[in-house]
Structure 1
Amino acid sequence: MVGTVHHTALSLVIVTNGSKQGLSLATHYYVQPGDWVIVESPTFHGALAILESLGARVIGIPMAAEGMNLELLEQYLRSHRPKLIYTISTLHNPTGLTTSQAHRQQLLALAHEYECPILEDNAYEGLNFEPVPPPIKAIDQHDWVTYIGTFSKTLMPGLRVGYMVVTGKHYQPILERKLLQDLHVSTVSQAIVSEYLASGHYRRHLSRLRAKNLQGRNAMLQALERYFPEEVEWTVPRGGLFLWVHLPAGLPIQAICREALAQNVLVANGAAFFLDQRGYPALRLTFLHPSEKIEQGIAVLGKLLKSYLAPGTRGQASRLKQEGILGFVAKTEGGTKLVG
């Protein structure tokens, strides 16, 4: 959306202290305590925390390869009349998936039909390894979408420069909420970002960053094939910083995370990305480290997982697939991995 913002009237852009402030501003504007809100499941734990603190009632729509299940979404739009749809359309956190153009158009059409605003949170846009569809906001003609972006993931987290693209009647109320909080983001940080963009350094920086991240992702995929048990499945993201690992049921995920940390391997327990931390067992793995460190970490995790996989758990992934719990397919160099 950065490129789109360049062609957007500045009066439609609100600069925020990172995308987290934009997320908070938008949710507090659209949602009141007790309102229904739809999110993808799994989704960004920071968004879940904000909605919980607000007293919203949250509905999680399962993710598939193309995005959230739109048939199920329409059922809830009709029955619950939610006040907001929260989506991460590009390089989804935590799965790393990117929705298709067709899915984005259908989602926007549903929002328009049922008069439900969309909050599009694309913190990782720009880190894609291949072209991605335009943001939903770019095709929004009726002011249903509020867009959130940031330079924290692509440039420097400490700058805390994010932005919102807000159109129509929503702009002024959200701007007023922003002014009540902090008046403006550091002008020094804004000047740094502005200069980086204008000079062309940002495009070159992104190109280097994407090449580095792609190398790390490929190293992790190779290590997963080499060290992980065959019952474990994962996504193959087309960009971003991490991938999503689906584990067989019954594994003590917290214990595995603690034992991995004791061996200097830090992983994110997938439970944090589900509403009430109730979801299928999973891990989010980050591939930003050097290839040799990635291989060492995956080797440690693979050994731990194999030690916990008792003979009785063999074949559980097949059962999950038959029951329809595993929802999408990702291809790796070693074959096909089904991922839930």
Structure 2
Amino acid sequence: MKTSTLQKPVERIVSPDFDSIFSSRAKAIQSSAIREILKVTERPEVISFAGGLPAPETFPVKETLAAMERVLTASGREALQYSTTEGFAPLREWIARRNSTPDAPVHPDQVLMVSGSQQGLDLLAKVLIDPGDRVLVETPTYLGALQAFSLFEPTYVSIPSDDDGVIPEAMGESLRGAKFLYCLPNFQNPTGRLLAEERRYQLAQKARELDLLILEDDPYGELSYAGDTPPSIRSLAPERTVYMGSFSKVLAPGIRLGYVIAPEALRAKLVQAKQATDLHTSTLSQMAAYEVVKDGFLDSHIPTIRKLYSDQCQAMLSALSRHMPEGVRWNAPKGGMFLWAELPQGMDATALLTKAVENNVAFVPGMPFFAENPSIESLRLAFVTVPPPRIEEGVKRLAELIRASR
């Protein structure tokens, strides 16, 4: 048998010019400022007030392991199989019961399970936003929401806000026709502020007057240090509110489990969008989470998280009071994981961060949290993963850098 003597020509391997084939949407994507900062803070010597991460000592490892074992032993094939897009029915029923009020009951069919509440934001953006649509946001607002929404090219309108949250009186008739208002009423990321109860009623009324949808994002509501919060906006205007919740802050973020409660017509469209995105959220995570929470575990677990976070917050407030120079201002959160600070007028928090990292301390500058007209002086401090002695040392270093920058 003759063998071929022909040889393939040597070809120069050239990769595609991806910049020329990326979609305009892909070209507009920006890296998360927080995620980029977190790369620096992985060094153990860095005292990091940057990451919005829950304290890992609050994760119910033993309970989750036992739940996984029970699920896999009793229903292993079901847990490892594809499932419905809407989510695991017993968990949706549990969520519906937990979020129902006498005036605003929740039916399980209104609940859609999502792979973390960030996916909820993405799905809502996909089904609601066309290029140029007006989207109303707080001042400042959650960076992850801006990232999810911006892919679909809205026109942002920043609603004036103060220490009590968004100001409903600032929402006039000119905002009629906006697609929705996005807000975090409970211990907001990034500021840690709590929307005043009176303003919740006013927002519900404004939504009806302006024919407006409200997206109520509530990952931190269970983290009230006193154990209570004002009524949800959903409970005051259920027909005009989409409510988003998460298991990331009360169980663990690694299970990637959140949920959306929406009026039925909108929930049906979200289901279709999710089918095109990932078919369904992890069956195993849903079944295990239900196994953990179904018998009241959160009623005893969440108070331990609140106590830890309250103590951490007080440690930071005390350190700020002792060390910060005149001209630096900050709030005193009543829950959650963050507080908001403002440097003396004209001082740039982003420039300060560079010096801070050189001195092994980190935070998040406030600028990325603004949809418009960012404040260069603002910054977010996260305190729940830093023990009090390191909080003290980190705040002291920051204070010294601020004095030196004047």
Give the shorter-chain TM-score range: 0.7 to 0.9
Does the 8 A contact of 2:117 with 2:258 survive in 1? Answer: yes
Find out whether 1:134 has 2:228 as its counterpart.
no
Matched residue, 1:232 = 328
Matched residue, 1:13 = 111
Which of the pair is proportionally richer in strand?
Answer: 1
Cα separation, 2, equivalents of 1:243 and 1:154:
19
CA shift in 2, pair 1:276/1:152, >3 Å: same
Does the 8 A contact of 1:84 with 1:118 survive in 2? Answer: yes
Q: Which runs of 4+ in 1 moved over 6 A?
A: none
Cα separation, 1, equivalents of 2:163 and 2:372:
23
Matched residue, 1:73 = 171
Find out whether 1:193 has 2:289 as its counterpart.
yes
Partner of residue 4 from structure 1, selected from 95, 99, 109: 99
5+ residue gaps, structure 1 = 310-340
Partner of residue 113 from structure 1, selected from 209, 220, 234: 209
Matched residue, 1:50 = 148
Does the 8 A contact of 2:350 with 2:376 survive in 1? Answer: no
Matched residue, 1:212 = 308
Give the match's secondary structure for 1:148. Answer: strand
Counterpart amino acid of residue 273 in structure 1? F
Matched residue, 1:167 = 263
Matched residue, 1:305 = 402
Rg larger in structure:
2
Cα separation, 2, equivalents of 1:109 and 1:266:
41
Find out whether 1:102 has 2:209 as its counterpart.
no
Q: CA deviation at 1:226?
A: 0.5
How many correspondences in the alignment?
306
Counterpart amino acid of residue 38 in structure 1? L
Q: CA deviation at 1:252?
A: 3.0
Question: Deviations 1:69-92 (Å, cap 9, x if unpaired)?
Answer: 2222225424xx311111111111
Question: Deviations 1:93-133 (Å, cap 9, x if unpaired)?
Answer: 11111112221111111111111111111111211112111
Counterpart amino acid of residue 235 in structure 2? A
Does the 8 A contact of 1:31 with 1:84 survive in 2? Answer: no
Give the match's secondary structure for 2:181. Answer: strand
Counterparts of 1:82-97 in structure 2 under 5 Å?
Answer: 82-97=178-193
Partner of residue 162 from structure 2, selected from 57, 64, 69: 64
Does the 8 A contact of 1:36 with 1:82 survive in 2? Answer: yes
Cα separation, 1, equivalents of 2:360 and 2:259:
35
Matched residue, 1:275 = 371
Q: CA deviation at 1:5?
A: 5.5
Matched residue, 1:36 = 134
Does the 8 A contact of 2:123 with 2:274 survive in 1? Answer: yes
Counterparts of 1:244-259 in structure 2 under 5 Å?
Answer: 244-259=340-355
Counterpart amino acid of residue 137 in structure 1? R
Q: CA deviation at 1:28?
A: 2.0
Matched residue, 2:362 = 266
Give the match's secondary structure for 1:119. Answer: strand
Give the match's secondary structure for 2:361. Answer: coil
Matched residue, 1:326 = none
Give the match's secondary structure for 2:223. Answer: coil
Find out whether 1:144 has 2:240 as its counterpart.
yes
Q: CA deviation at 1:206?
A: 1.0
Matched residue, 1:25 = 123
Q: CA deviation at 1:191?
A: 1.7
Cα separation, 2, equivalents of 1:115 and 1:75:
10
Counterpart amino acid of residue 239 in structure 1? G
Higher RCO, 1 vs 2 (CA within 8 Å, ≥6 residues apart): 2
Q: CA deviation at 1:280?
A: 4.6
Q: CA deviation at 1:248?
A: 1.7
Q: Compare 124-133 and 69-78 and name the one that shifted more.
A: 69-78
Q: Compare 197-206 and 21-30 and name the one that shifted more.
A: 197-206
Counterpart amino acid of residue 135 in structure 2? V
Q: CA deviation at 1:230?
A: 1.7
Partner of residue 223 from structure 1, selected from 319, 323, 326: 319
Give the match's secondary structure for 1:238. Answer: coil
Q: CA deviation at 1:203?
A: 2.2
Per the normalisation by structure 2, the TM-score is 0.72
Q: CA deviation at 1:190?
A: 0.8
Counterpart amino acid of residue 99 in structure 2? T
Give the match's secondary structure for 2:308. Answer: helix
Question: Deviations 1:168-212 (Å, cap 9, x if unpaired)?
Answer: 321211111112211211111112211221132222221111100
Cα separation, 1, equivalents of 2:374 and 2:196:
27
Does the 8 A contact of 1:48 with 1:275 survive in 2? Answer: yes
Q: CA deviation at 1:262?
A: 2.2
Partner of residue 123 from structure 1, selected from 216, 219, 234: 219
5+ residue gaps, structure 2 = 1-93
Give the match's secondary structure for 1:163. Answer: strand
Cα separation, 2, equivalents of 1:116 and 1:8:
20
Matched residue, 1:320 = none
